[in-house]
Structure 1
Amino acid sequence: MSGEADRTMAIEEEIETATATTATEKNNMLKDRKVSWAKLRRIDSLNLEAGRVSMSGNHGSKVNWRTTLSLAFQSIGIVYGDIGTSPLYVYSSTFTSGIKHNDDILGVLSLIIYTIVLIPMLKYVFVVLWANDNGNGGAFALYSLICRHLKVSLIPNQQPEDKELSNYKLETPSSQLKRAQRLKQMLENSYAARILLLLATITGTSMVIGDGILTPSISVLSAVSGISTSMGQGAVVGITIVILIGLFCYQRFGTDKVGFTFAPIIFVWFSFIAGIGIYNLFTHDIGVLRAFNPKYIVDYFKRNGKQAWLSLGGVFLCITGSEAMFADLGHFNVRAIQMSFSFITCPSILAAYIGQAAYLRKFPEKVSNTFYESIPHAIYWPTFVVAVGAAIIASQAMISGAFSIISQALSLGCFPRVKVVHTSTKHQGQVYIPEVNYMFMIACIIVCAAFKTTTKISRAYGIAVIGDMMITTTLVSLIMLVIWKKSIWQVAIFFLLFGSTEALYFSSQITKFTGGGFLPIASALFLTTLMGIWHYVHKERYMFELRNKVSSEYIRELAADPDISRVPGMGLLYSELVQGIPPIFPHLIASVSSIHSVLVFVSIKAIPVSRVALEERFLFRHVEPREYRMFRCVVRHGYNDTLEDPVEFESQLIQNLKAFIQQDSYMITEGADVALTEAEAEVESQEETKARYANYSSRIIPNKNQGGVSRASSDPIVNKSSNTFSSLPIQGAEDEVKFIEKAMEKGVVYMLGEAEVVAQPNSSFLNKIVVNYAYSFLRKNFRQGDKLMAMPRKRLLKIGMTYEI
């Protein structure tokens, strides 16, 4: 320890002499500039930048109980609208042909009780919620978590620097459980398994998106059905359509505008249904509490046989919306969801179902509209108003959730380009997608007009929900094996218990295929195909660029070409390639025969994490030789991150480029003992490399006017093109920064490759159909890349090129 202390003191003295910083600045610098050099295999300026890891965020911090209670109350309005409005239609959807035997009510109530306890409570609240990705839930969150621990991503853009992110949280498999390691290797080596994993994620996501159509339809229609006895079913459908149109038109304002009112309304709704349930229980038949005995489930199946199995499709509707607890986790935390469901949602909906069962025991003929028939007359209209409000909130939450999921799929290259509008400055996950919104509105109107009743819509509704639940069970089981390293019997119990239960419900739901069940299956199949085609071509485009990336010899040949000139200004050439120079660059040179005095190859890269801290977002590297003033920049973002407007993004990129130049200059000037070339680093022993990295990591100093030697003081920017590719030698950090600033003054030009993707002439017929027709149609009818990344049109240069895949 004494040697460590002496080395720290020597470093502090050196820093003090070189920069004359204050004691406070030195302490902050030493705290912020710790770099885990021992983890890196070679010296790379991208690695240098990756070392600036900030542990910002509260992922690892504990939330106090006051905050947790506040989040628990807020979650009532966002998470439980769907499952909370299920008592409106469950009994009518279960007893579609009426109640044949009075004890059937007890059997169905027992099924409802144990279904709620088993799936929302045991599966989601106590297991699935913990399989979150830095606090985020949903199918893509599970997939991203798996991709970080297993190399199963179909796009090979992983870099060692990604593991340095503060949100990455990578764990290595336990040596005590070799099974996890074997399964990990099997999945990584099996291309078919990787495709199947992505396909399962996309399918689950497609089913949740389908809920964005069915939830508003069934929730609002069931709430408005309270006036069907006085105005007729036609009026109910008409009023429902008007409410839905207003609901979708309102989406552009964002849920954040009225978010503070959601929780009180749903809380009042839960109070109403719980109070009405308790009233009916003591007024009509307290004996229904016998349904807590699972014996009545057995008797129900013995008495009704196949009809009881078919009725499971209606019973399952009591837990629709359970997946919202996991999908909306990012806005809250695990403890908040557990508390709100255990102490408010679960008791309230159980009381509602028990009270309705007590009422039906006395009035079984009123099963077609059980909820409204069981309301005491004195509070009928207040309950109706609150029910409509709760149904609208349930629809709002599901629509917003579908928008958020599509936004995640878009950032991971699994959805065609659409406009994403962020409606909240507080919650980055609250987004609005205009194109999808109006497609949802049209679909909801068609569903309501075609089906007309909640009973018919319920035949379609359950299939999408149970399909997503089955996929979640599969993905969480994989996480339990590979990441949590649970024993095989624990995973088997989880998978068999919940998987078999969900499979039983699915088998009942699928029998309603011709009665409406085809709708979610068809929509899921359509969305899965659409997302699969887009991701396939997206991957093949990346592989084409990777195979045809520009060699360093081409850059040297370019420098020796007298016909290539440098023009004043800065150019940002966009590409998805994170390694090397994209093939679009020589195509640009062949067309223009000139290049800007400062050129940055910008790669927008999606990382399998929810968010990337701003100070960790930009990675830079020189394109050698250094005097060419060409850089590579990887801009990393998570699936919940927003790409800033062009002004802010440009400012952040330039500021980070300046910081990189200063740090890189200091490494050359003061750290020559560790400035190894890439080839030298590869052959040097690992022990020596670690020692050098450890020595250098403590010597990085804050961004001041570092003492780089200025080799040229002439103005680096001229008013006419230079006839030499690199007219000026390498300068010190201060002069290099001035060079960048003057290049900015001359103008920043955005260059974007417009690749026309076609199938190779010798490819299969299916590949030609997918690439030449399906993908081409999607690309032409959805947004272009410049609109998605908000590039300024007046400074945008598009470069056309054809990729054969």
Structure 2
Amino acid sequence: MSSNKQNQEVAQHQLNGKKLSGNSLKRYDSLDLESSKVPGAKKALKWTVILKLAFQSIGVVYGDIGTSPLYVFATIFPNGVTYNEDILGALSLIFYTITLIPLIKYVFIVLRANDNGDGGTFALYSLICRYSKVGLIPSQQPEDKDVSNFKIGLPDRRTRRASKLKSNLESSNFAKFVLLIATMLGTSMVIGDGILAPCVSVLSAVGGLKAAAPSQLTEGRLVWIAVAILLLLFMFQRFGTEKVGNTFAPILCLWFIFIAGIGLYNFVKYDPTVIRALNPKYIIDYFKRNKKNAWISLGGVVMCITGGEALFADVGHFSVRSVQISMCCVTYPALILAYLGQAAFLRKNIDDISDTFYKSIPNGLYWPVFAVAVLAAIIASQALISGTFAIIQQSLALGCFPHVKIVHTSTKYHGQIYIPEVNNLLMIACVVVTLAFRTTENLSSAYGIAVVFVMILTSGFLVLVMIMIWKTHILFVIMYVLIIGSVELIYLSSVLYKFTQGGYLPLAFAMFLMFIMYVWNYVYRKKYHFELEHKISPLKVKETVDETNSHRLPGLAIFYSELVHGIPPIFKHYVENVPALHSVLVFVSVKSLPISKVPIEERFLFRRVKPSDVYVFRCAVRYGYNDVRNEEEPFERLLVERLKEFIRDDSILSLNATKSNKVSTEQSVNVELESDCEIQEVETSSMERDIQVVERAYSVGVVHLVGEQDVIASKGSNIVKRVVIDYAFNFLKRNLRQSSKVFDIPHKRMLKVGMIYEI
């Protein structure tokens, strides 16, 4: 009796964490049982780590907004200053714009709307999708819900308003479509920022050379110097965010010290009374005097907040607290002092408006400041380049971007990545734009539209988050829309005025990128639903295996599929053409989870396809953002080891299920113990046999079977659908990285199985 009790306690201990139903043990799907083991949210960072990340963030996040003093006053007054008091009006606009949008909106509000630590337009979209069924992306199917990135959270229905908005969004296909398109548009605009930001920053910095030696350095030579600097910048990206941040952060810190110190010097020396500009009355007077010209000049004021979206897009590389600390303690004070000093200088030197920054540098500091300015301008590009990498990673997880290789550059910090293909495309685009536009003034119109458009889209998503997820009081939502929303709309109206002067450029970039993203996502969804509708039932698998039973080959075969549950239709296609199966089959679905790392012991989730003697398994393999396959962690060996562990756990579960289902009769204790021992012996023998079969198959060799699905439009499709599927998608598929390269599958042991999907 004591021996049996001890065995039951051991079995119960090994079943810890699995679900029980009522008083009896229910036989659960293993994927459902183990999916609850997903590690929870990231642990709170120590203050030493937060401060280190805050320091690094200075070198990555704030380069763009930090170098805006190089050109803001020149873009506000391209034709010179008419009234001296206009300088105070412009300074007041700059002060309140920086305070309202980067500081209050992004640092204190938007950063709270991160999705498991990640920021950007896609992060907002995925956050909304987790609280309501509004996603068009196939990530909320019953087959995926336990292991998907976007497992739906149940919102608290404390308010009627949140529930009503949620139900309205869920019931409207048009609203779902608009949300997805807006997400793609916002993402495309941020990538457009990533193209324009390096061009504007570097061109404005090298302009200091022309001021020092105007006769030797022509515009053409300056442009080629800017191109050389841009090439060096993008080549440096391969070293990763951590090395880039540690390298650039001291330079940016020195830059902020310089601009703050020069600003304070000019403020005291020339005109301390410019502090009056903190009174918004000067904004009203500015508009009264200049009317339409004042409204047009808002496009120049926008340049003081370029890179504001990077605060949110780059938060995944660091943490919310670290970005807040660096902004409030370093960036914001330095920028305010810099603009105060420039305004004070201009009050006494009104004719130097076209080159305010360099002309305001005190004697003896020109060349040191110029050197740091060039370095800071190079670094300024980093904010949106890193942000572009982050949002491309998010869009990949949502099936909205073609396959690209993501290199995780840090094992310590969440989200620090490098994408070689995207980096190269950004570099080429930057060089082309720099050669085409040649000056900062020509680029400012284009850059302003991209900046404001992204901010408005972020505000729209944020209002949904406030109402539906945060349950924010309606008065605060109204205040946000009336104050920040209306300011952003006014700025948008101003930058659109210069649409024909280069403003079309970011929209052209956005339309091109949106087309690629929508085509890929549309076919991705169609393919997924095709596989879901045509998946093979376990009964059909048994029939298929029985038909080929005389041709079971020794070895282990791994089939890769998007489906978590169910056997993909390509399996049947394979068997029909190659009537032989390996002795052990594992259908693998690779999933990314919104956490930094998944422990190795929790990475593989298995389910057995009945009957047991066919040796067919399904497996979901879960990776976190920072999990990387490498030689020290061979995928095949890990999969086999976890499969053997699963067989042991599955055997124990079957044993206890059998015991719990025995009909209670008036038998003696000895007879009951005898029966239990027989059952245990049978299960143990079966478990050992199954493990031996897996080990023997693994020792013979592993074959990776990758589906190569060719997609064509079904008969009767309209011309738009045929163009999208037959031409646009297939062109992208032929010219971009294949999934086998993304998953690092060994080529010597990989077989591609082709099949045509008519969708």
Indicate whether the TM-score tops 0.5: yes
Q: Which residue pairs with 2:399 in the alignment? A: 413
Contact 2:316–2:390 (CA under 8 A) maintained in structure 1 = no
Contact 2:60–2:244 (CA under 8 A) maintained in structure 1 = no
**The one of 582, 586, 590 aligned to 1:600:** 586
Q: Which residue pairs with 1:246 in the alignment? A: 232
After TM superposition, give the deviation of residue 790 of structure 1 in Å.
1.1
After TM superposition, give the deviation of residue 328 of structure 1 in Å.
1.6
What residue identity is the alignment partner of 2:638? Q
Give, in whole Å, the separation in 2 of the partners of 1:741 and 1:708: 22
**The one of 737, 755, 759 aligned to 1:801:** 755
Contact 1:144–1:609 (CA under 8 A) maintained in structure 2 = no
What residue identity is the alignment partner of 2:33? L
Give, in whole Å, the separation in 2 of the partners of 1:312 and 1:467: 14
**The one of 704, 707, 715 aligned to 1:753:** 707
Give, in whole Å, the separation in 2 of the partners of 1:141 and 1:657: 34
Instruction: Point out the more displaced range, 497-506 or 487-496.
Output: 487-496
What residue identity is the alignment partner of 2:724? V
SS of residue paired to 1:378: coil
Q: Which residue pairs with 1:737 in the alignment? A: 691
SS of residue paired to 2:658: coil
Query: Is residue 34 of structure 2 the alignment partner of residue 49 of structure 1?
Result: yes
Q: Which residue pairs with 1:196 in the alignment? A: 178
Q: Which residue pairs with 1:148 in the alignment? A: 130
What residue identity is the alignment partner of 1:595? L
SS of residue paired to 2:688: helix
Q: Which residue pairs with 1:310 in the alignment? A: 296
Query: Is residue 717 of structure 2 the alignment partner of residue 763 of structure 1?
Result: yes
* Cα shift readout 1:168-207 (whole Å, capped 9, x = no counterpart): 7965333330221222222222222112111111111111
The CA RMSD measured in Å over matched residues stands at 2.8
Q: Which residue pairs with 2:519 in the alignment? A: 533
Give, in whole Å, the separation in 2 of the partners of 1:144 and 1:613: 24
Q: Which residue pairs with 1:345 in the alignment? A: 331
SS of residue paired to 1:753: strand
**In the superposition, relative to structure 1, how do residues 291 and 260 fare at CA in structure 2: closer, same or farther (>3 Å)?**
same
Give, in whole Å, the separation in 2 of the partners of 1:495 and 1:584: 51
Q: Which residue pairs with 2:453 in the alignment? A: 467
Pairs within 5 Å for 1:155-234: 155-158=137-140, 171-229=153-211, 230=213, 231-234=217-220
Q: Which residue pairs with 1:574 in the alignment? A: 560
SS of residue paired to 1:483: helix
After TM superposition, give the deviation of residue 642 of structure 1 in Å.
4.6
* Cα shift readout 1:123-167 (whole Å, capped 9, x = no counterpart): 111111111112221112112211211122224443669776799
Stretches of structure 2 that go unaligned for 5 or more consecutive residues are 663-678
Give the total of aligned pairs.
737
**In the superposition, relative to structure 1, how do residues 517 and 673 fare at CA in structure 2: closer, same or farther (>3 Å)?**
farther
**In the superposition, relative to structure 1, how do residues 20 and 668 fare at CA in structure 2: closer, same or farther (>3 Å)?**
closer
Give, in whole Å, the separation in 1 of the partners of 2:721 and 2:151: 38
Instruction: Point out the more displaced range, 162-171 or 564-573.
Output: 162-171
**In the superposition, relative to structure 1, how do residues 614 and 181 fare at CA in structure 2: closer, same or farther (>3 Å)?**
farther
Query: Is residue 629 of structure 2 the alignment partner of residue 644 of structure 1?
Result: yes
Query: Is residue 534 of structure 2 the alignment partner of residue 551 of structure 1?
Result: no
- The normalised TM-score by structure 1 is 0.86
Contact 2:411–2:626 (CA under 8 A) maintained in structure 1 = no
Contact 1:752–1:797 (CA under 8 A) maintained in structure 2 = yes
Give, in whole Å, the separation in 1 of the partners of 2:589 and 2:574: 17
**The one of 57, 63, 66 aligned to 1:81:** 63
Q: Which residue pairs with 2:666 in the alignment? A: none
- The normalised TM-score by structure 2 is 0.91
Give, in whole Å, the separation in 1 of the partners of 2:660 and 2:179: 43
Q: Which residue pairs with 2:672 in the alignment? A: none
SS of residue paired to 1:419: coil
Give, in whole Å, the separation in 1 of the partners of 2:327 and 2:452: 20
SS of residue paired to 2:503: helix
Pairs within 5 Å for 1:278-289: 278-289=264-275
Q: Which residue pairs with 2:729 in the alignment? A: 775
**In the superposition, relative to structure 1, how do residues 241 and 674 fare at CA in structure 2: closer, same or farther (>3 Å)?**
farther
After TM superposition, give the deviation of residue 427 of structure 1 in Å.
3.7
After TM superposition, give the deviation of residue 403 of structure 1 in Å.
2.0
Stretches of structure 1 that go unaligned for 5 or more consecutive residues are 1-9, 677-706, 713-730
What residue identity is the alignment partner of 1:352? A
After TM superposition, give the deviation of residue 225 of structure 1 in Å.
0.9
Q: Which residue pairs with 2:606 in the alignment? A: 620
Instruction: Point out the more displaced range, 249-258 or 789-798.
Output: 249-258
Give, in whole Å, the separation in 2 of the partners of 1:183 and 1:258: 43
Contact 2:18–2:34 (CA under 8 A) maintained in structure 1 = no
**In the superposition, relative to structure 1, how do residues 614 and 500 fare at CA in structure 2: closer, same or farther (>3 Å)?**
farther
After TM superposition, give the deviation of residue 612 of structure 1 in Å.
5.1
Give, in whole Å, the separation in 2 of the partners of 1:90 and 1:83: 11
**The one of 339, 342, 346 aligned to 1:356:** 342
Give, in whole Å, the separation in 2 of the partners of 1:609 and 1:761: 43
What residue identity is the alignment partner of 1:98? G
**The one of 71, 79, 82 aligned to 1:97:** 79
After TM superposition, give the deviation of residue 14 of structure 1 in Å.
7.4
Pairs within 5 Å for 1:459-498: 459-498=445-484
Instruction: Point out the more displaced range, 401-410 or 369-378.
Output: 401-410
* Cα shift readout 1:663-710 (whole Å, capped 9, x = no counterpart): 11100113325689xxxxxxxxxxxxxxxxxxxxxxxxxxxxxx9535
What residue identity is the alignment partner of 2:726? N
**In the superposition, relative to structure 1, how do residues 517 and 53 fare at CA in structure 2: closer, same or farther (>3 Å)?**
closer
Instruction: Point out the more displaced range, 348-357 or 63-72.
Output: 63-72
**The one of 792, 798, 803 aligned to 2:746:** 792
Instruction: Point out the more displaced range, 144-153 or 486-495.
Output: 486-495
